[in-house]
Amino acid sequence: MSKREEWEALGFEAYDAGELTLYMNDDFCTHNGTCVRAYPGLFNPKRTPWFDPSVASTEDIARVIEMCPSGAMRYIWEGEKRVRVMFEPENQRSAAYDGEKLVGFCQLQMDEGDVWIVTHTESDPAYAGQGIAKRLVSKVANAARVAQKKLSPRCNYAAKVLTEDPAFRELL
Ligand code: SF4
């Protein structure tokens, strides 16, 4: 099953933005307003249409969508050169993709009350030097902050990233 089919089966709606297709699922949205604040005019839930891709470049739209901490907003951009990192609560992980190819993940156990356990982080050695593993842990940390959860890292790499960054220490 392709990512598009997987997301549509989960209830995501597709929105055309030229080169990029935005996928949105209200059931995942925590209404924290990150996307609205990140790029004025791009998203506005009080407006119809709520998404206006004409105000931003494809790169900026992709950048703002990647800031979504809940996994409610995602995208497919055929021919994109960058690796994208997103939060996938349905898989209890953050995940990095090169197109449709999974090139890294940071796995969680999210069923432990107010604490998410970080069990494992890995990235494809073929993508070494791109900071993917750190982006994966950062994505999990931002998701935990928005969901008001603490993190318990059982993965040494995640523990190092979370301990070294003062912005993340409050989550431990
Ligand atoms: S950034 Fe994501 S979770 Fe936050 S309001 Fe936008 S869609 Fe919802």
pLDDT tens by residue, 150-169: 999 999 999 999 999 998 98
**With bands split at pLDDT 50, 70 and 90, how would you rate the model's confidence at 49?**
confident
Residue 112: pLDDT over 80? no
- The reported pLDDT for the residue numbered 78 is 85
Residue 53: pLDDT over 80? yes
- The reported pLDDT for the residue numbered 100 is 86
Percent of the chain residues topping a pLDDT of 70:
99
- The reported pLDDT for the residue numbered 79 is 82
- In the numeric block, which tokens belong to residue 86? 């997103």
Q: Which residues line ligand 1 (CB under 6 A)?
A: 29-35, 68, 70, 72-73
pLDDT in tens, 3-29: 899 999 999 999 999 999 999 999 999
C-alpha 125 to ligand 1 mean position (Å)? 31
Domains and CATH numbers, the chain: 1-81 (3.30.70.20), 83-172 (3.40.630.30)
Number of the ligand 1 atom closest to the C-alpha atom of 67: 1
- Tell me if the pTM is above 0.85: yes
**With bands split at pLDDT 50, 70 and 90, how would you rate the model's confidence at 1?**
confident
Q: What is the helix, strand, coil percentage profile of the chain, to 5?
A: 35, 30, 35
Strand 115-123, strand 150-153: pairing? parallel
C-alpha 159 to ligand 1 mean position (Å)? 26
- Tokens 């506005």 map to which residue? 44
Q: Average of pLDDT values for 118-143?
A: 96
C-alpha 42 to ligand 1 mean position (Å)? 13
C-alpha 165 to ligand 1 mean position (Å)? 24
Characterize 138-162 residue by residue with b for buried, 16 or more Cβ atoms within 10 angstroms of its Cβ, and e for exposed.
bbbbbbbbbbebebbbebebbbebb
